[in-house]
Amino acid sequence: MLESRERLRPCEVRDLGCLRYADALAIQKDLVEQRKQGLIPDQLLIVEHPHVITLGRNGHMENLLANEDILQRAGIEFHPSDRGGDITYHGPGQIVGYPVIDLREWKRDVVAYVRAIEQVIIDALGESGISAGRLDGCTGVWANGRKVAAIGVHISRWVTSHGFALNHTTDLSYFQYIVPCGLTKPVTSMRELGSSVSREEIIAALSRNFAKHFELELSRDREEAVLSYTETFS
């Protein structure tokens, strides 16, 4: 209980709205650099991407079922990425969170970090009436045996980037482009799980729980900075 007496560290939450994957990467890169230099406090970026399939550093191209032609015709971008994990899909109706935090100020433990991110999502879903949990050996958040949120993280000198993607009202059919023939575990969304919580509400719940688990105090007072970012990159 000693920790709770310590002062909460500041954290800025920025809801950047809809943003292309490459632009979000550029913003993260910039913020990571600033965070390493101690110029800014911890950050939680929330974005929504247009259709994009991204492949983690250790991903396998064979999990991309469609060739690039088909993706192009379907209006889906393809983007290799330096996060952990394999292939995944982002798109409208998904809440993507990119925490840029310095783990030296929390716990120097990457696994604890991933577990905490899972807990943030599990708790936020719980508040929205969805009972979700973990599946042994399968990082992410699961409900009814289906994956509702995916996690992939990159860490450089204990500063995090990338993060999680929670299917809110995602059109799940887009996941077909990356799963060979039902040989994988199915995905689901909050909507499919019967929740009608709005995007704003779930983002608020995520932010609140994020602050709780990482012992942070949230602020939103740099919204102009957010605006200037989106202008620069969109």
Partner 1 sequence: MIDVVMPQMGESIVEGTLTKWLKKPGEHVDRDEPLFEISTDKVDTEIPAPAAGVLKEVLVEEGKTVAISTVVGRIDESAGNGASAPAAAASKPAPAPTQPPAPAPKAAEPAVAPPAPALTAPQAPPPSAPKPQPAAAQVDAGPLSPLVRKMAREYGIDLRQVKGTGAGARITKQDLEAYMSAQGARTMAQASAPPSAVPSPQAPQATQAMTPVYSVPAQQQMPRAEAPRARVEPMSTMRVKIAEHMIMSKRVSAHVTTVHKTDMTRVAKMRERQKAEFQQRYGYSLTYLPFVIAAAVDAIREYPIVNASIEGTNIIYHNEINIGIAVALENGLIVPVIRNADEKNVIGLQRSIVDLSTRARSRQLKPDDVQGGTFSITNFGSFGSVFATPVINQPQVAILGVGAVEKTPVVIDDAIAIRSIAYLALTFDHRLIDGALADQFTSKVKSILENWSEEIL
Report the alpha-carbon distance of residue 47 to residue 233 in Å, rounded. 13
**Residue 68 binds partner 1, judged by CB under 8 A:** no
Q: At what angle do helices 199-213 and 110-127 cross, to 10 degrees?
A: 140
- Please check whether residue 97 is in contact with residue 45, taking contact to mean a CB–CB distance below 8 angstroms: yes
CB of 110 to partner 1, least distance (A): 4
Q: Interface with partner 1 includes 177 (CB under 8 A)?
A: yes
Count the alpha carbons within 13 Å of 221 in the hemisphere toward its beta carbon: 7
Which of 177, 229 has the CB closer to partner 1? 177
Helical axes 21-36 vs 223-233, angle rounded to 10°: 130
* Two tokens, residue 23: 């632009």
155 makes contact with partner 1 (CB under 8 A) = yes
Active-site residue flag, 11 = no
By CB under 8 A, tell whether 83 contacts partner 1: yes
Exactly one of 11, 18, 138, 181 is catalytic; name it: 181
Nearer to partner 1, 49 or 83 (CB): 83
User: Quick check: 113 binds partner 1 (CB under 8 A)?
Assistant: yes
* Residues 25-64 contacting partner 1, CB under 8 A: 56-60, 62-63
Number of residues that bind partner 1 (CB under 8 A): 40
For partner 1, the closer of residues 60 and 220 by Cβ is: 60
Helix (H, G, I), strand (E, B) or coil at 37: coil
185 touches partner 1 by CB under 8 A: yes
**DSSP collapsed to 3 states, 127-159:** HCCCCCEEECCEEEEEECCEEEEEEEEEEECCE
Where do contacts with partner 1 occur on this chain (CB under 8 A)?
56-60, 62-63, 65-67, 70, 82-86, 107-114, 139, 151-157, 176-177, 180-185
Active site residues: 181
